[in-house]
Structure 1
Amino acid sequence: MTNALPTDLLHERTTMQPRSASYAETTAAPQLSEPGSRSWITRGASFVIAVAEVTAGAVLARLDNPDEHMVIVAGTGATIEAGRDIVEAEAETLTIVPPGASVVTAKGDGHVVRIFSARAEDLMRLAVNAAVYADGAPEVAAPTPWPDPPGGFKLRNYAPYSYDRPDTNMRLFRSTNLMVNFLTKRDAPRDVRKLSPHSHEDFEQASLVLEGEYAHHLRWPWTPDQTEWKDDEHVEIGSPSVTVIPAKVVHTSHNIGPGRCWLIDIFAPPRLDFSRKPGLVLNADDYPMPAAN
């Protein structure tokens, strides 16, 4: 993804000033190039996202990842291996990969998105927006891993769009350390009279666009120091792209232009508010909530 961050977003900030957003697109040099693949890497305080453009046969490997991560395939399928487990992941599916060594082999040309927690320190350091987090992001709550899955760590593959959700446009899945929301694909622009501006007190949101174009609207809260106030941002961004929305920042998004649009929201760790709603998290039986919640 391009370093779409204006240079003024990389300046030092005080602990009072809300963090700058990160916008990254695949329109410049990637952060990682390997045979058959190019990866653009963007981070938040508690997660890191690697969007790989792949050709048939490309291999994306992790030798010893410390915890679970997620793999989303788009435009192609992939063979995913971890230990003795093998999953044939079709396009538009989500696979949760256990800790340790793993290999993703692309079946054709397309994109493979891998989502990791902040424990993937090598990727966190490579992120295009690493400088934005030089202070460690003290405004974001420290992540606490959720309970181990009762069936043990293993490859788990889900087809989010096989779930018909007439009551909601959300398809939520979680692991011990991450949560993703596969939103309903849109074939027509969202009604701008029915947007949903909101903010998150102590966690960030990443919005991954895999098809079409979106407009992200962000509003920063005022602090006592007027010299730190930031103007509203209204950013149009294409696909693939990643936008990282800071804690406390009011935000909403909508697709623009003609054609199919596809957006996935990403959080780390799993959100308790979503998880407390019965039936909303589609793999809740595989990943139970902490006992105290």
Structure 2
Amino acid sequence: MTYAKDDPRSALSASATKAKDTGSAIAAPEFLDFSITAPDVLTEAGSRQWIVRGQNFVLIHTEPEPGDTIWSAELGSEQVVLLIDENSGLRGSSADSAEKHEVTGPALVVIPPGASEIVSTGSGPITQLLQSDETEWAKRASNADSYAEPHPRVAPLELWPEPVDGYRWRTYRMADVPDEPKRFGRIFRTRAFMVNFLKPGAGPRNPHKLSPHHHDDFEQCSLIVAGTYVHHIQTPWGTDASVWRPEDHARVGSPSATIIPPPTVHTSQAIGSGRNHLIDIFSGPRHDFSAQPGWVLNADEYPAPQD
């Protein structure tokens, strides 16, 4: 891994990112640019939804019409909802309580298992994260064919311990997170997910301070919600030249989701002159980030596994 000295990730152990050779072919990255593709769902009220998946997760991204019910369904597991910006908002309810929940963004919301409903109260984007073993939703993904067979280099999801105070509605507002230069981003986790709700940036990223790195056995989903980025991805070469791939330097707009497979070397570069905003998503939670004191902001609610 290659990080600048002032990048908090430089504290990560090198052994945590040493690639393993499983003998299996390396999956191709997927660049799912919603800014240039038609939505998978267009609601009667006009909200637009894109549904995509990775190995262990399903992502539903909604560009909503205010007042539209964008979700009414039952799940066997928690879901994570991202209210992307200050124009994003929801009114929600879940089967665990008769209470109505009103939340405005930017925020991360966890909804407990069971039946739930989400009404958008604003015009800003909303992203939902579900486990891929919610098979009805996994089948609806526009890229479902890519996962007709599990990718052997991606570790199956192993749920982390249950929250210490049980399943319930949880809201984490980004405005409540203080700045801390030694912490990498704004990281939250659940049993199945880790989300780094990075802060928006202004202008292009310094090309002399990129951070190429790889992951042994988990995918990274980079959700672009503002601006334009280039995802630089290099697939390692093995002994079989017939499966070699050239480097990717894929330009994507917003909104978009890029699925980065292990153990590709990757880094993302904002190139837009205005506001640029990326959110990183992992399923399951990362052990290396979790081991850094103070990085996971809700670690007291969602404990890490005990060795």
Tell me the alpha carbon deviations over residues 168-227 of structure 1, each in whole angstroms, 9 at most, x when there is no partner.
341100011111001121112111111110111110000001111111000001121101
| Contiguous gaps of at least 5 residues in structure 2 | 1-22
Amino acid at match of 2:48: R
Return the alpha-carbon distance in structure 2 between the equivalents of residues 260 and 54 of structure 1.
Answer: 21
Corresponding residue of 2:30: 22
Name whichever of 119-128 and 158-167 sits farther off. 158-167
The answer as to whether partners of 1:80 and 1:88 remain within 8 angstroms in 2 is yes
- Are residues 213 and 162 of structure 1, via their aligned partners in 2, closer, same or farther at CA, if it must alter by over 3 Å? farther
Amino acid at match of 2:185: M
- Give the secondary structure class of the aligned counterpart of 1:49: strand
The answer as to whether partners of 2:64 and 2:70 remain within 8 angstroms in 1 is no
Q: Structure 1 residue runs of 4+, over 4 Å off?
A: none
Amino acid at match of 2:39: P
Corresponding residue of 1:279: 294
Q: 2:241 aligns with which of 216, 226, 246?
A: 226
Corresponding residue of 1:290: 305
- Give the secondary structure class of the aligned counterpart of 2:289: helix
Query: If the length of structure 2 is used for normalisation, what is the TM-score?
Result: 0.87
| Contiguous gaps of at least 5 residues in structure 1 | 1-14
Tell me the alpha carbon deviations over residues 131-188 of structure 1, each in whole angstroms, 9 at most, x when there is no partner.
2112211211111111111111011000124322222341100011111001121112
- The CA deviation at 1:110 is 2.3
Return the alpha-carbon distance in structure 1 between the equivalents of residues 110 and 100 of structure 2.
Answer: 12
Query: If the length of structure 1 is used for normalisation, what is the TM-score?
Result: 0.91
- Give the secondary structure class of the aligned counterpart of 1:273: helix
Corresponding residue of 2:42: 33
Q: 1:240 aligns with which of 243, 250, 255?
A: 255
The 5-angstrom pairing of residues 111-130 of structure 1 reads 111-130=125-144
Return the alpha-carbon distance in structure 1 between the equivalents of residues 218 and 275 of structure 2.
Answer: 29
Return the alpha-carbon distance in structure 2 between the equivalents of residues 288 and 81 of structure 1.
Answer: 25
Return the alpha-carbon distance in structure 1 between the equivalents of residues 234 and 129 of structure 2.
Answer: 26
Report % sequence identity.
Answer: 38
Amino acid at match of 1:198: H
Superposition RMSD in Å: 1.4
Q: 1:59 aligns with which of 55, 60, 69?
A: 69
Aligned residues: 278
Name whichever of 245-254 and 116-125 sits farther off. 116-125
